[in-house]
Structure 1
Amino acid sequence: MRILISTDTYPPDLSGSSFFTYRLATGLAELGHDVHVVCASDSGPRKDVPEDGVRMHRLRSVPLVIHPTVRFVPPVGVPRALRGLVAELMPDVLHTQDHFTIGRAAMAAARRHGIPVVATNHFMPDNLLPYLPGWLHRPVKSVAWHDFRRIYARADHLTTPTQAAADLLARYGFGRYVEPVSCGVDFGRFHPSERPKVVARKEFHLPDVPTIAFVGRLDAEKRLDEVIRALPGVPAQFVLAGRGVRRFELERLAHRTGVADRVFFLGYVPDAQLPLVYAAADVFVMPGIAELQSIATLEAMASGLPVVAADAVALPHLVRPGENGFLFTSGDVDGLAAALNRVLSSEHERARMAEASHAMARSHDATRTVTRFEEIYRGVLSGLKR
């Protein structure tokens, strides 16, 4: 099949959606499909280049004002660009990852030619609200959900990463069936490490002491301040792999809290080294409140780590309290500290939880995800809604 994937975020952007889209595109290409991705330029100017077996169509972009680590494609000219691209490629199917600037233009262009559309949702307004004044939260949330319903109602088949995410869409008035399809995790890369933790820690110049790890964007909705506030009561170091707009604020908080000597910011960690971050850790923490799945949590589980996560949105689907980790109520710093201490206090319990995490992650193998999307594409091509 010739498949066109449209997305407003793609590597080197750092987000679960961008990583998922990259793995899906390259996975489909490895199976012999002719895969094209239209997304924001990583450098500014428009360019059409091959990357990792995928033909990239990168549109002119600028930094997003409220989130400068993300590049944004100004809407002027995008509908025309997508009409031209779709007419040139005439893909068998369009798979859009969002309903923003590029996604909605791609969907409109596909409909002009009768090309079936598969749409996946990775978005919830809570990802955006922390960057806006409080008085705007309610109206922006209302408008955002209305816009989502209006655009995605036109797709032929809809997916989202988890059943919790599908339930969220129904709760906000989306009346169509939405199929949960996991973002998946690459077990070829993420698995329990055979190297001792001390060796993995040396790779990042970390002390050989109990280690809590986080991987992802250092942004407001991740609630990383709660982990730093909990750290005075937890005998461990906290390692953060990623970049984001809240890094300097978190660094200042670590100094004010008196734990700066136990908080390590690794910055951007290249994809090839990411498994080492998990190998260096004893427990993974995910305090975010806007996770429709959390690919980083899945990677940690596949790597054999217990997980302490916020009891919010889809994270309870990944963490079974007492089995592979613990949940805590967002904002309850003492509860977070207690959960981390329960994991760190017993090597035997950590080993048991590590095995449970790895076993639970098995059902999210990325090869199943790619295979399911192949089936969905063929289904919409044959006129079936599966």
Structure 2
Amino acid sequence: MMKILQITAYYPPSLGGIQTFVQRLSQYLAERGHQVDVLTVNTDHAPAQEAGTSGIRITRTPLDLNLYRAVFSRSFAQKLMSASGYDVYHIHIPFHVGLETAVLAARRNRTPLVATHHGQGLRGSLLYTMMAHTYSWFSQNISLRGVDVPVFLTPSYAHSLNLPAVVQQRMQIVRTGAEVQQFSAGGMGTAIRQTYNIPASDPLILFVGYLGKSNRYKGIDYLLKAFVSVRQQSANARLLIVGGGDWLPELQTLAERLEIADQVIFAGPVENGRLPDYYAAADLFVLPSISGPENSPVVLFEAMASAKPVVATTIPGVVDIVKHEETGLLVPPKDVPQLAAAITRIVQDKDFRQRAGRYARQHTEQYTWKHCAQQMEQIYQARAMNKPMVGTLS
């Protein structure tokens, strides 16, 4: 048994891909007999201390500052610096200043440090974007040198970063996981269609994701513009957008200006346990990201496990997951006409839609949380062999 500290800026009940990744990984590691603690920042007024499933212990520290979802907490830094007796630290980035704090804590407490890089998609004002790019350069070229094992989720994403040679020599690729059984079992799609008054014969296009202004790189505005053309070819098509955030009012206004508000449903945030129903209701899933890189979006695996074809963009990370003309279609980012054409093709071509959906489900069978946890476990053991298993998070 190992004693593992998972370090993350966000954790459920906060919703998002990183949150899901850390939670599922922690659960599977705990089920394999390891003691897993989670140290995070309290962004959702959740309990400061919580005993999660499978014996996971969660510590949430008070939030001092949230700047475009880059969170800062003095108490977090203090607790991390005093977190002794662990066999391994595992930090999930991007986590502004959190990575640097983890490097210092690992040195102070002589604890191996693993870092999984989930992406770098945050966007904001011009000033913030410049600051974020500066920090990204620093973290990738300086901070990651202090990490024992940098982990990336897709090869194309790792190669897109132009990492220093010393980081490339240490890095490992670990494919993200998905609750394949949960989604492949099918959900209550009929109930979702009834809830939103969508006839069974109407093509339903789905997007799932956080709709914060910091996530403008998700490209939902381009999806709305493309949907105008889709409606011209398939008048009964509907667009269902799942997710909440401070970008939502602006997107709703755009839908009204494009005169598609009656055909676009903004469902708001949905709990993870209900997502299989939404995927089951849809005919296809769209991820129109314009930059990132996205790395390895969990929603892609969820959609594909649900046997839904995917329309996505040719950005690093995504191109390793979606197989063009097999599990879906890939289009250039920001290309509204091609995005619309790809969606329209899947909507109108039932044979291709069903075939791509079957291939998508088969493709996800190799991407399970169990397999992901086993790979991480091997990395931990290689770095933490013969480490003492005493101490706690104080």
The within-5 A match list for 1:323-338 is 323-338=326-341
Question: Are 2:171 and 1:188 equivalent residues in the alignment?
Answer: no
The within-5 A match list for 1:217-296 is 217-218=210-211, 219-234=215-230, 235=234, 236-288=237-289, 289-290=291-292, 291-296=294-299
Tell me the distance in 2 between the aligned counterparts of 1:66 and 1:273.
27
Q: Is the 8 A contact 1:60 1:73 kept in 2?
A: no
Equivalent residue number for residue 59 of structure 2: 57
* TM-superposition CA deviations, 1:80-122 (whole Å, max 9, x none): 32222x13xx111111112534343233222212211111111
Tell me the distance in 1 between the aligned counterparts of 2:80 and 2:134.
28
Give the CA deviation at 1:237.
0.7
Equivalent residue number for residue 80 of structure 1: 78
Which one of the candidate residues 122, 145, 148 is aligned to 2:137? 145
Q: Is the 8 A contact 1:184 1:364 kept in 2?
A: yes
Question: Are 2:109 and 1:110 equivalent residues in the alignment?
Answer: no
Which one of the candidate residues 287, 305, 308 is aligned to 1:305? 308
The within-5 A match list for 1:290-369 is 290=292, 291-369=294-372
Tell me the distance in 2 between the aligned counterparts of 1:270 and 1:111.
38
Give the CA deviation at 1:59.
0.8
Change (3 A) 1:262 1:371: same
Which one of the candidate residues 79, 87, 93 is aligned to 1:92? 87
Tell me the distance in 2 between the aligned counterparts of 1:139 and 1:96.
22
Tell me the distance in 1 between the aligned counterparts of 2:132 and 2:229.
38
Give the CA deviation at 1:172.
4.7
Give the CA deviation at 1:25.
0.9
Change (3 A) 1:38 1:205: farther
Give 1:23's aligned amino acid: R
The root-mean-square deviation of aligned C-alpha atoms, in Å, is 2.2
Tell me the distance in 1 between the aligned counterparts of 2:112 and 2:173.
19
* TM-superposition CA deviations, 1:333-385 (whole Å, max 9, x none): 111110011111121111101011111111211110011111111111239xx
Change (3 A) 1:43 1:185: closer
TM-score calculated relative to the size of structure 2? 0.88
Give 2:206's aligned amino acid: A
Tell me the distance in 1 between the aligned counterparts of 2:319 and 2:248.
27
Tell me the distance in 2 between the aligned counterparts of 1:46 and 1:280.
34
Tell me the distance in 1 between the aligned counterparts of 2:135 and 2:60.
28
Change (3 A) 1:277 1:142: same
User: SS of the residue aligned with 1:243?
Assistant: coil
Equivalent residue number for residue 161 of structure 1: 153
Percent of residue pairs bearing the same amino acid type: 29
* TM-superposition CA deviations, 1:250-277 (whole Å, max 9, x none): 1111111111111001111111111011
Change (3 A) 1:343 1:43: closer
Q: Is the 8 A contact 1:12 1:42 kept in 2?
A: no
Question: Are 2:117 and 1:121 equivalent residues in the alignment?
Answer: yes
Change (3 A) 1:238 1:274: same
Q: Is the 8 A contact 2:314 2:332 kept in 1?
A: yes
Tell me which of the two structures has the higher relative contact order, counting C-alpha pairs closer than 8 angstroms and 6 or more residues apart.
2
Q: Is the 8 A contact 2:40 2:76 kept in 1?
A: no
TM-score calculated relative to the size of structure 1? 0.90
Q: Is the 8 A contact 2:114 2:148 kept in 1?
A: yes
Tell me the distance in 1 between the aligned counterparts of 2:307 and 2:46.
41
The within-5 A match list for 1:4-83 is 4-43=5-44, 47-52=48-53, 53-62=55-64, 64-67=66-69, 72-74=71-73, 76-83=74-81
Q: Which runs of 5+ in 1 are unaligned?
A: none
Q: Is the 8 A contact 1:159 1:181 kept in 2?
A: yes
Q: Is the 8 A contact 2:5 2:39 kept in 1?
A: yes
Tell me the distance in 1 between the aligned counterparts of 2:173 and 2:59.
28
Q: Which runs of 5+ in 2 are unaligned?
A: 387-394
Tell me the distance in 1 between the aligned counterparts of 2:102 and 2:333.
37
